[in-house]
Amino acid sequence: MIIDKPFEFIEDQSSPNRNIYPLTSEIDEKGRLTVGGCLLSDLAERYGTPLYVLDEFTFRSSCKAYKNALSKNYKGLSLPLYASKANSSLVISSIVKSEGFGLDVVSEGELITALNAGVQSQNIFFHGNNKSKRELLIAYQNKVNIVIDNEYDIDQLDNLIPTEGHKAKLMLRFTPGIECHTHEYIRTGHLDSKFGFDPDKLEDTLIRLKNYQWAHLTGLHAHIGSQIFELAPHRDLSSVLADALKKAIEIGHPINDINVGGGLGIKYISSDNPPSINDWVKTIALGMEKACKSRDLDLPRLLCEPGRSIVATSGITLYKIGSRKEIPGLRTYISVDGGMSDNPRPITYDSAYTACVVDNFLGDEKELVTVAGKHCESGDVLLKDYLLPKASSGNVLGIFCTGAYNLSMSSNYNRIPKPATVLVGNGQADLIQKRELPEDLLRYDILPDRFIDHR
Ligand code: LLP
Tell me whether domains 16-55+312-434 and 57-307 share a fold: no
pLDDT of residue 2: 55
CB contact at 8 A, 138 and 117:
no
| DSSP conformation letters of 148-192 | E-SHHHHHHHHHHS-TTSPPEEEEEEB------SS-GGGB-SSSS
Residue 72: pLDDT above 90?
yes
376 included as an active-site residue? yes
Q: Is the CB of 83 under 6 A from ligand 1?
A: yes
Arithmetic mean of pLDDT, 402-418: 98
What ligand 1 atom has the least distance to the C-alpha of 86?
A: 14
Catalytic residue among 63, 180, 376, 401: 376
Q: Is the CB of 127 under 6 A from ligand 1?
A: yes
Is the omega angle on the peptide bond into residue 417 within 30 degrees of 0, that is, cis? no
Dihedral class, residue 100 (left if φ above 0, else alpha if ψ from -120 to 50, else beta): left
Distance 307 CA to ligand 1 centre (A): 6
Nearest to 197 by CA among 256, 135, 148: 148
Distance 262 CA to ligand 1 centre (A): 7
Distance 76 CA to ligand 1 centre (A): 25
pLDDT of residue 180: 66
CATH of the domain spanning 16-55+312-434, picked from 3.40.50.300, 2.40.37.10, 1.10.1040.10, 1.10.3720.10: 2.40.37.10
User: Which CATH number does 57-307 carry?
Assistant: 3.20.20.10
**In the chain, where are the structural domains located?**
16-55+312-434, 57-307
pLDDT of residue 5: 55
Exposed / middle / buried, residue 423 (Cβ in 10 Å: 0-12, 13-18, 19+): buried
Distance 191 CA to ligand 1 centre (A): 17
What ligand 1 atom has the least distance to the C-alpha of 306?
A: 13
CB contact at 8 A, 367 and 388:
yes
Residue 453: pLDDT above 90?
no
197-242: pLDDT as tens digits: 999 999 999 999 999 999 999 999 999 999 999 999 999 999 999 9
